[in-house]
Amino acid sequence: MAMMDFQGKQIEVDDDGYLLNLDDWTKDLAEHLAKQDGIDLSEAHWEVINFLREYYKQYQIAPMIKILVKEIGKAMGPEKGNTKYLYELYPGGPAKQACKYAGLPKPTGCV
Amino acid sequence: MATKVTTPKPDQLVTSIDFTPPKTGWMDTPTIIKPGTFCWGAKGKNLATVEFPNARDWNPSDQDWKLPENWQEIFLKGMEDLLGKYRSFKVFMDICVRCGACADKCHFFIGSGDPKNMPVGRAELLRSVYRKYFTASGKMLGKVAGARELTVDVLKELWYYAYQCTECRRCSLYCPYGIDTAEITIMCREMLNLLGLNTDWISGPVANCYMKGNHLGLEPHAIMNSIEGMIDDIETVTGVRVNPSFNRKGAEILFVTPSGDLFADPGTFTCMGYLALFHELGLDYTWSTYASEGGNFGFFTSNEMAKRLNSKIYAEAKRLGVKYIIGGECGHMWRVLHQYMDTWNGPADFLEVPVSPITGTRFDTAKVLKMIHITEFTADLIKHGKLKLDPSRNDDLVVTYHDSCNTSRGMGLLDEPRYVIKSVCNNFYEMPENTIREQTFCCGSGTGLNASENMELRMRGGFPRANAVKHVKEKHGVNMLANICAIDRATLSASMDYWVPGVRVTGVHEMVANALIMKGEKERETNLRGEPLPGKEGN
C-alpha cells in the first residue's frame, strides 16, 4: 500500500491517494492534499469538509452528492445548496475531491 | 504515492485500436500490464475480513506480488480440485477446436484489438497450463501440444486477462460447442483467489457485504436515512407521502434490490420508482436492512464466497416470515439467483409460489426460487390493466433498451422489460438486432470491473454497446438508455458521457413512476429528477 510522507510522519493512503485511516486526518493534512491539486482551502471549502466529516461520523459512509446538496442547503441556505456551487468549489467533483480532503474512503460497489 | 492514470480521448482511443496481430506467436508475445487497463490490488484487511488466503496489500504494477512460496502448487492443486468438481470446466478445457467463431464477438477484443482478448485466446492462456499439467500429450510434448509451464509471468498474464472479461457470455452464444467462456473466467478467478490475487474494487464490496449486508457498507440507519430522503422527494414531486416499512415481520413480501439503488444516482430514481409503485398498490411488503443487497460481488471471487453472501436473502425471508420475495432491477444478482441460489441455500420450502396479490397471477416460473423479478411483476400488473398510466409524461424521452447480459442471456428475461417500457413511454426504438436481446453487448464494466483506475479498459469494452446507442441516437434521436441493472446504471452513465454525450441512463421503474397516476396526487410539474415535465417547462 502506498505511503505519504507528511510532517515527518508516514501516512497510509490507497492507490488513489485516499487516507486509509480516518484517524490520520488533521486540518494541516487537508490543506496539504488540497494544495497538491492547486486549491487553497477557503472558509467555504471547510464548510463542506466539516459537513462531510460529521456525516461520516454518523453514517460510516460518504454522502451521495444529492444528500450533500440537500443538507448543505438546509444548513447554509439555498444559495449554497446546489450542485453548481459545490462544483465551483470542488471542480474535481464534491464527492471525490472533497471526500479526499476530508479523509473519507471512496465508496465502492455498483456506483 | 498515488498513481495518476489518464484516459485517452475518444478519438485517440478509436484510432489506437489495431487488429494487426503481433509478429510473434502468442506464447512468445510478452504481456505488459498497462496502467488504465487493470484494477488496484485488494487491501489485506478486506481479504482478512472474509478469511481469504494470502491476505496482504498488493499492487499489480509492482514486480513482487507477494505470493506464497508454494504458489504454483496451490494454483495447480486448486485447478485439480475444480476440474474434479465441475465436469463442465474439464469439458470446456478439452473440446475447443479453435474455430474462432467467438473471436470478434467480445467487446474487449473489439475495443482493444488485443488477440489475447479474443475469448478463444483468453481461454487458451489457461488451456495451455491445463495441457501441461493435466494431459498426457501436454506433459510429453510441451509447446508442440500447446502446453506451457506455469511461471510467474504466466500467472500474471492469467490475472491480467481474467480481469479483462466481464463474464457476459456473448461469445458462448456463438460457440458451436456451447463452451461457456464465462465459466472459464470464473474458474480462473477462483484459482487466483487462492493466492490472494483479488482486486480492491471487488474485495472491498465483498468485505462490506459480509460485515454489513451490502456492498456499499450502508448501516441500517444510513439505509433508512437514504430512503427517507427519497420519500421527501417523492412527496415534493407527487404530493403523495409513501410509507414503507423496514424489517417488518409478517409482511407478505420481502423486497431485495442492489444497494446501488439506495445510494447512487441514477439508481436512486429507480428506487423512488419502486417506492411509488408499491405504495400505489398498497402492497404488503417490507425492506430489510440485513438482506440489503441483491447483487453479489462474491460471485466474482469464488463459488463459496458467493454462496455465503447469498445466504442472507433466504435467511431473512425465513426470519420475517414472508410468503415470497420480489427482487429489484439488478443484473448479476439475477444470474446468481436464477442459476445458483436454490442449490446453494435452498430449498426455500418455507416460502410459497409467488402470487400477485393484485392480479392473482401465480408465477409458476418461480416455483423453485420463490422470487420474482420486478419487471415480471409490473408487466403482469399492466397486462391486467391495474395501473393508471400517462405515458405522455415521458414524452421528452426517446428511449432505447439495453439488455443486461445476466438478465437476458442468464435468465431469458427479454420481453417483460420492453412491455413495461412501451406501456409507459411513447417513443421507443430498438438498437440493431445483433446488439440486443440474447446478442446484447455488455456495458463493458460488469463483474466488478467498474472501478475508476481502469477507465481506459472500461471505455474500450463499452465501445460496441455505445456504438449501437450512437446509431439510434443519430437515426431516431434517442436520448435515454433504459436498463434493469445497477451496474449498468453506473457504468453506462460513464460510457455515454464518454462515447455518446447527450444520452442519459435510467432504470425502468423510474419511468414507470413518472407515468403512474397515483391516488390523491397533485398536478405533477416535474419528473422524479425534479426536471420539468413536457409542456411544463415555463412553469
Question: pTM of the full predicted structure?
Answer: 0.95
What residues does each domain of chain B span? 10-36+53-197, 205-515
Q: Are B138 and B132 in contact (CB under 8 A)?
A: yes
Active site residue A110: yes
CATH number of the domain at A55, please.
1.10.10.370
Say if residue B352 is exposed, middle or buried (CB neighbours under 10 Å; 0-12, 13-18, 19+).
middle
A55/B226 Cα distance (integer angstroms): 12
Residues of A in contact with B219 (CB under 8 A): 59-61
Residues of chain B positioned with their CB less than 8 A from the CB of A67: 225-226, 229
Backbone angles phi, psi at A30, to 5 degrees: -60, -45
Q: Consecutive sets of 10 residues in chain B, 539 residues long: mean pLDDT of each? A: 78 97 96 96 96 97 97 98 98 96 97 97 98 98 97 98 98 96 97 98 96 95 95 98 98 97 94 98 98 97 98 98 98 94 97 98 97 98 98 98 96 97 98 98 97 96 98 98 97 97 98 98 97 91
Of B291 and A92, the structure prediction assigns the larger pLDDT to B291
Those residues with Cβ within 8 angstroms of residue A36's Cβ, 6 or more apart along the chain or in another chain = none
Helix (H) or strand (E) holding B285: strand B285-287
Structural domain range at position A41: 27-101
- Closest-CA distance, A13 to chain B, in angstroms, reads 8
Which residue in A70, A66, A94, A89 sits closest to A81, CA to CA?
A70
> Minimal Cα–Cα distance from A67 to chain B, Å?
8
Which ipTM score applies to this complex? 0.86
Check A1 against B208: CB less than 8 A apart. Answer: no
Residues of A in contact with B196 (CB under 8 A): none
Residue B5 pLDDT: 84
Q: Which residue from A65, A37, A61, A26 is spatially nearest to B2, judged by alpha carbons?
A: A37
B4: CB partners within 8 A, 6+ apart: none
What DSSP string runs through B440-460?
PPP-S-TTT---STTHHHHHH
In a domain, A9, yes or no: no
How far apart, in whole angstroms, are the C-alpha atoms of residue B444 and residue B33?
19
Of B188, B153, B186, residue with least CA distance to B167: B186
How many cross-chain Cβ pairs, A to B, lie less than 8 Å apart?
98
HEC readout, B214-265: CCCCCCHHHHHHHHHHHHHHHHHHHCCCCCCCECCCCCCEEEECCCHHHHCC
Nearest-CB residue to A4 (from B1, B57, B297)? B1
Q: What is the pLDDT of residue B286?
A: 98
Residue A7 lies in a domain: no
Residues, chain A, total?
A: 111
Cα–Cα distance for residue pair B190/B176, rounded to 1 Å: 26
Work out the pLDDT band at A17, boundaries 50, 70, 90: confident
- In a domain, residue A85? The reply is yes
Residue with cell 432504470: B507
* Helical residues (DSSP H) of B337-454, grouped into ranges: 342-345, 374-383, 405-408, 415-424
Out of A13, A66, A110, the one facing B260 most closely (by C-beta) is A110
pLDDT in tens, A32-89: 999 999 999 999 999 999 999 999 999 999 888 888 888 889 888 889 889 899 999 9
A79 falls within a domain: yes
- Nearest chain B residue to A61 by CA distance is B218
Query: What are the two backbone dihedrals, phi and then psi, of residue B137, each rounded to the nearest 5 degrees?
Result: -65, -40
- Strand pairing of A9-13 and A2-6? antiparallel
CA distance B339 to A69: 41
A4 and B CB contact within 8 Å: yes
Question: Given an 8 Å threshold on Cβ–Cβ distance, is A16 in contact with B2?
Answer: yes
CA distances from B305 to B193, B298, B300, B330, B406 (A): 11, 5, 9, 19, 19
* Topology (CATH) of B10-36+53-197: Fumarate Reductase Iron-sulfur Protein; Chain B, domain 2 (1.10.1060)
Cβ neighbours of residue B335 under 8 Å, at least 6 residues apart? Answer: B299, B406, B407, B410, B411
Under an 8 A CB cutoff, do B263 and A65 touch? Answer: no
Domain membership of residue A20 (yes or no) is no
- Determine what percent of chain B falls in helix, strand and coil, rounding each to the nearest 5: 50, 5, 45
3-state secondary structure of B178: coil
Q: What is the pLDDT of residue A21?
A: 87
| Cβ <8 Å between B218 and A61 | yes
Residue with the three cell numbers 447527450: B502
How many domains does chain A divide into?
1
In a domain, A65, yes or no: yes
Contact criterion met (CB < 8 Å) for B216 and A108: yes
